Amino acid sequence: MPTPREILRKVRQIEIRTNRLVTDALTGAYHSVFKGQGMDFEEVREYAPGDDVRAIDWNVTAKMDRPFIKKFREERELTIVLLVDLSASGAFGSEDESKRELAAEIASVLAFSATKNNDKVGLMLFTDEVEQYIPPRKGRQHVLRVIREILFHEPQHTGTNVVMALDTVNRMIKRKAIVFLLTDFLQGPDGRLPAPNEHNGDALFRALALTNRRHDLTTILLSDPREVQLPNVGLIALEDAETGQLVEIDTGSSKVRSLYAKQNRERLDGLHKGLRQAGVGALPVCTGEPYINNLRRYFEARSQRRH
C-alpha cells in the first residue's frame, strides 16, 4: 500500500501535468462541444437595430408602446460522469505507465476541463461489480479526490461487466449527463469482445446505445502496444489478469505473431463497428503515446457536427 505522502505526490503530479494540458489545449474545445441543456431567461431590454425579431416580447412591447426583446443565457452547468474500468487487465502496461494510470490521467484532464467550466464531476469505478460511486460535485478538492480514487482504489473483484456499469449509471443519474466510459473492453473468459450479432454482444451494444440516448456517451478505448503485436522474444508464459489462466506462446514463430496480430485487429475492428452501429463516439488511446491532440481533435470534430 502506498503511504499518504506517496499518494499525495502522485495526485499532485497528475494535477500539475493535466492542468497545463487543459489550459493549453482543451478548454475552448471542451466548452464548444459540451453545451448546456437549454436557455434560461435573463431579462427584457429595449429592442436595438440588428436584434433578432423572433426574440421580441410582444406583451411588454404592447404595454410600453415600443419594442422590447427577451434576453437569454445558456444554461451552462453540466454533469460529467467518469465511468472507469478497474478490472485486472487495466494493471497491464508494457510502457512507462499502465492502462489504469493512463485512464487516471485522461480522467483528470476531463475533470479539470469540467471544473474550469463550472461543471459537476462524478465518478463510478467498476469491475464486474460497482466498486465505488462518488456523486457529482464541483471544485478542485473534489477533482483531486476523484483522481486519488482512480489511482489507488483497491478493487475487490477482477472481472469486467460493462453492461452492469452502464445500467447502473442509467438508474442513478436521472438528468442528462456527459458520460465518459474508460475501458479496454477486455472481458469474458477469453478476454474477447463479443461481436454485435452474438448474444452477449447484443446486450453490450444495446446497453451502449441506450446510455447514449439517455445521456451523451463517449468511450475512451484503452490499449497497450503488446495487446496488438507481440515482440519476438522466444517462448513466454502469459497469465490472464482477470481469470488467472496461463498459456505458453512461442513468440519466435512468425506464424504465431501474425495470428496474434490478426485476431486483435479483428477484435478491434468488431469493436469499432459495433460502436458505430450503436451511434457511440469512440476515442482510442494507447499507453506510451501522446493523447492530448487526439482528444482535442475529437472534441473539435464533435463540435463541428453539432453546428
Cell numbers found for residue 142 = 473534489
The per-residue pLDDT for 199 is 45
User: How does DSSP classify residue 284?
Assistant: E
What pLDDT does 169 receive?
96
- Residue 36 has a pLDDT of 53
Give dist(CA 151, CA 107) in Å, integer.
11
Supply the pTM of this predicted model.
0.80
| Domain residue extents for the chain | 4-32+77-306, 39-74
| C-alpha cell recorded at residue 86 | 478497474
Contact between 216 and 173 under an 8 Å Cβ cutoff? The reply is: no
Q: For residue 21, what pLDDT is reported?
A: 75
For the range 266-270, what are the long-range contacts, defined as Cβ-Cβ under 8 Å and sequence gap of 24 or more? 267/192, 267/193, 268/228, 270/193, 270/195, 270/196
Instruction: Choose among 304, 227, 249: nearest CA to 32.
Output: 304
- Residue pair 56/68 in contact (Cβ under 8 Å)? The answer is yes
Question: What's the Cα-to-Cα distance from 10 to each of 6, 121, 144, 204, rounded to whole Å?
Answer: 6, 20, 11, 34
Instruction: Report the pLDDT value the prediction gives residue 191, as an integer from 0 to 100.
Output: 45
**Phi, psi at residue 121, to the nearest 5°?**
-130, 130
> If one looks up domain 4-32+77-306 in CATH, what number appears?
3.40.50.410
Residue 304, pLDDT score: 72
Q: What is the pLDDT of residue 76?
A: 56
Q: What cell was used for 114?
A: 469540467
Contact between 85 and 223 under an 8 Å Cβ cutoff? The reply is no
Decide if 88 contacts 188 (C-beta within 8 A): no
pLDDT at site 305: 67
Q: Can you read off the three cell numbers belonging to residue 19?
A: 492542468
Q: What is the pLDDT of residue 279?
A: 92
CA angle 199, 197, 179 (to 5 degrees): 80
pLDDT, one tens digit for every residue, the chain (307 residues) = 677 788 888 888 888 878 777 766 676 677 667 765 555 556 788 888 877 788 888 998 998 899 988 876 555 578 999 999 999 999 998 888 999 999 999 998 899 888 888 889 999 999 999 999 999 999 889 999 999 999 899 999 988 999 999 999 999 998 889 999 999 998 654 445 555 455 455 788 999 999 999 999 999 999 999 888 888 888 888 777 777 788 888 888 899 899 988 988 888 888 899 899 899 999 999 998 999 888 888 888 887 765 5
* H or E element in which residue 68 lies: strand 68-74
Length of the chain, in residues = 307
